[in-house]
């Protein structure tokens, strides 16, 4: 077995995380029927709903038009829309 010639020489063994698309229905999630919200699930005891979703430049290309100092930001009206739907 070859030993490293430098004490801090390391080799990376972690797998790269990829995007995985699966069946959300198997997790108890129901389609939210909204462009920004991907799914919803009823909270325990019928206390309400929990919404989930993913917003990114790859799934929502219009976000690229909303940049401040080179950083893409979600417009305030999108937050308002999410609050009204929830």
pLDDT in tens, 51-85: 888 888 888 888 888 888 988 888 888 889 888 88
- What pLDDT does 75 receive? 87
Q: How confident is the model at residue 25 (pLDDT cuts 50, 70, 90)?
A: low
Return the residue matching tokens 């995985």: 20
Q: Which residues pair with 41 in a beta bridge?
A: 50
CA distance linking residue 66 with residue 40, whole number of Å: 27
Q: Work out the number of other CB atoms within 10 angstroms of the CB of residue 48.
A: 10
Token output for 82:
């999410």
Report the range of poorest mean pLDDT among 16-20, 42-46, 51-55, 62-66.
16-20
């Amino acid at each position: 077995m070859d030993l490293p010639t430098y004490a801090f020489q390391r080799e990376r063994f972690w797998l790269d995380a990829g995007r995985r698309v699966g069946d959300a229905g198997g997790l108890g999630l129901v389609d939210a029927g909204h462009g920004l919200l991907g799914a919803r699930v009823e909270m325990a005891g019928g206390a309400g709903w929990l919404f989930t979703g993913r917003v990114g430049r790859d799934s929502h290309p219009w976000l690229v038009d909303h940049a401040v100092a080179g950083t893409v930001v979600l417009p305030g009206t999108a937050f308002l829309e999410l609050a009204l739907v929830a």
